[in-house]
Amino acid sequence: MTNEEAIKILEKMKARIVPLSPLLEGKSKDEEAIDIAIEALEKQIPKPPKMGYAFPEKIRAVMTFRGDNERAEAKTDCCPACGRPLGTSKFVQSQTGMRFGDPYCKRCGQAIDLGVIADDK
């Protein structure tokens, strides 16, 4: 069974859970457990990176203050789940020392589809 198939089954199970009384807020424990399982399974399915800034907002602000707009505006492959730069471009590797092609995000654990990384800028 693939993760996608397991997620479909979990979603069907979730739909059969009797909702909490409308007087109570939030999810039932069963619903919460299924949501956690679905989230964990989805993180194991490799997703292509998305483009984002190579440096965090505070560092970019310092770069801009120093007139280094080119580095401040540099974009690179980032985690599709949390936005962390993945270190897949030579530019980011040279600036951060991250190694090429981590198959998982080091912050959130999202699996990354390395077949779709962008060309170096």
Minimum CB–partner distance for residue 99 and Zn ion (Å): 16
Least distance in Å: CB of 77 to Zn ion?
12
Nearer to Zn ion (CB atom), residue 71 or residue 84: 84
CA angle 34, 38, 42 (to 5 degrees): 175
Long-range contacts of 24-27 (CB under 8 A, 24+ apart): none
Query: Which C-beta is closer to Zn ion: that of 27 or that of 52?
Result: 52
* Position among 107, 113, 116, 121 found at the interface with Zn ion (CB under 5 A): 107
Residues of this chain, 23-82, that bind Zn ion according to CB under 5 A? 79, 81-82
88 vs 110, beta carbon nearer Zn ion? 110
Identify the CA nearest to 121 among candidates 80, 70, 84: 70
Q: Is 121 in the site for Zn ion (CB under 5 A)?
A: no
Residue of the chain from 45, 51, 61, 108 that contacts Zn ion (CB under 5 A): 108
For Zn ion, give the closer residue by CB, 14 or 43.
Answer: 43
What residues make contact with Zn ion under the rule CB under 5 A? 79, 81-82, 84, 105, 107-108, 110
